[in-house]
Amino acid sequence: MNASLAFGKAEARDMADRETALKNIAVGDIFHASATNGASLLCLTMLVTESTIQARNVATQIIYDFDRRTGIADWYVFSRHYLCTVDSVAPLPADIHEIMLQLDRKGRESEYCHAEDPDRPLDSWRRIIDR
């Protein structure tokens, strides 16, 4: 009986630590999340409200709205539903953080260029951006 009580206390402490970590996420932070389909998500925090952490996947530019209390976001792909869960908020080393920001910037530039001229092949935009 004492073991189950100890487990319950440890679980409650872990939940409190998780909630604190999620509450400390700020705009510009990069965190990792995992999806139930096995996807690994490197997310750049764009907006933080009382209830939501809005973050953009650096690799795909997909935007997720994570519940700030649970760290869970819904993701729909071709009518399939997946849950994404924040699993690491450990800060990246400064040089790696800067590389992630550069990758995100390139991804956004590519998206903007394609939006300006959707008929132009994506490869031609990538050559312009890579200069």
Q: In this predicted model, what pLDDT tens digit does every residue of 74-124 receive, in sequence order?
A: 999 888 999 999 999 999 999 999 999 999 988 877 655 555 666 766 555
Average pLDDT, the chain: 82
Are 20 and 70 members of one domain? yes
Torsion of CA 104, 109, 111, 115, to 10 degrees: 160
CB atoms within 10 A of CB 110: 17
Higher pLDDT, 46 or 8: 46
Containing structural domain, residue 43: 2-91
Number of domains in the chain: 2
In terms of domains, do 28 and 56 share one?
yes
Domain identity same for 79 and 120: no
| Reported pTM | 0.73
pLDDT at 51: 96
Q: Let me know whether 47 and 80 are in one domain.
A: yes
Is the pLDDT at 15 greater than 90? The verdict is no
pLDDT tens-digit series, residues 24-82: 999 999 999 999 999 999 999 999 999 999 999 999 999 999 999 999 999 998 889 99
